[in-house]
Structure 1
Amino acid sequence: MRARGRLVAAALLAALPAAASAATVEVEVDGAEAGAGPVFVALCQGGLNGSACGEGDSVQARGGEARVSFRDVAPGVYAVAAFQDTNGNRQLDRTPLGLPLEPYGFSGDVGRRARPDFRSAAFSLSEPGALVRVRLARALPRR
């Protein structure tokens, strides 16, 4: 009977869906302005707009650098968007034409000369994870 019980348990375990794989995304941000506010970093999937960049975190930069870790991220295609909140309002401020007024950056170092697109900023994530570097810069000179 014990052998039969083990077979039944093994069959039940085999029928369960496999546990989803998970990875870690380490994001290193440089180019932050000293004493200018926290750096917000978001992990984006499918686009670079607010609704596609749901998972995020903010940290204080030290020596112009910041580091954020996203754990238990399902493998897939992602991009990273980051900005430094120099005035503390928790959003990327823009001109009436839409140009960022605060330091910002994306994975793949896109968005400097034209509107960024997800495909150019995207990277493929698999286990165990990825290290992504983002450089912050201003679109316009500081006022």
Structure 2
Amino acid sequence: MPRAAHTLALAACLAVAAAPSAWAAGLTVTVEGVRDDRGDLRIALFDRPETFGETGKQRTRLVLPAAPGEVTAVFADVAPGTYAVTVYHDADRNGELNRALGLLPSEGWGVSNSAGPLSRPRWETASFSVPEAGATVRIRLHY
């Protein structure tokens, strides 16, 4: 490659590397009120109201070991936009939110913006904005 072309290619690579990315923001989720260290916390990030809360239809998810008190998770490379987060304490690691009588959660659970706990969480109350700089949300578990 001629020297001028090499210099132009290097300059283009440096410009791309230095340019801010639309996917550079992070979302930090702090889960509060974890009762104990049994099992995992399953944290799901949703980006569409029509799939909010549906198992397997989240944008992405994280599974972290449970620890008493607070657990912090970071979703990297979150584009600016509107999102909602759900989390549950999967104490028995069966991959499901256990329910008493098939209705009421029997494991700890929470939703962004403290949506719930007396009604089914809705996108309108659980959603929040993530700006280009990223965001932090806190979610308290309900047992």
Q: What TM-score do the two structures reach when normalised by structure 1? A: 0.77
More off after superposition, 74-83 vs 28-37: 28-37
Contact between 2:90 and 2:107, CA under 8 Å: does it hold in 1?
A: yes
The equivalent residue for 1:87 is: 92
Q: Following TM superposition, by how much is the alpha carbon of 1:48 offset from its aligned partner in structure 2, in angstroms?
A: 2.1
Of the three residues 108, 133, 141, the one matched with 1:136 is 141
Q: What is the SS of the residue equivalent to 2:100?
A: coil
The equivalent residue for 1:21 is: 22
Q: What TM-score do the two structures reach when normalised by structure 2? A: 0.77
Query: How much identity, in percent, do the aligned residues show?
Result: 34
Name the CA distance, whole Å, in 1 between partners of 2:40 and 2:142.
14
Deviations 1:98-141 (A, max 9, x none): 32110000000012011110110000111110001010112xxx
Name the CA distance, whole Å, in 1 between partners of 2:74 and 2:45.
10
More off after superposition, 34-43 vs 106-115: 34-43
* Alignment map for 1:1-143 (pairs within 5 Å): 21-22=22-23, 23-46=25-48, 47-138=52-143
How many pairs align? 126
Q: Following TM superposition, by how much is the alpha carbon of 1:96 offset from its aligned partner in structure 2, in angstroms?
A: 4.1
Name stretches of at least 5 consecutive residues in structure 1 with no aligned partner. 139-143
Structure 2 letter corresponding to 1:124: S
Name the CA distance, whole Å, in 1 between partners of 2:115 and 2:106.
17
Moved over 3 A (4+): none
More off after superposition, 47-56 vs 30-39: 47-56
Q: Following TM superposition, by how much is the alpha carbon of 1:51 offset from its aligned partner in structure 2, in angstroms?
A: 4.0
Structure 2 letter corresponding to 1:59: L
Note the aligned Cα RMSD (angstroms): 2.3
Q: Following TM superposition, by how much is the alpha carbon of 1:19 offset from its aligned partner in structure 2, in angstroms?
A: 7.4
Structure 2 letter corresponding to 1:45: D
Q: What is the SS of the residue equivalent to 2:105?
A: coil
Structure 1 letter corresponding to 2:22: S
More off after superposition, 32-41 vs 101-110: 32-41
Q: What is the SS of the residue equivalent to 2:116?
A: coil
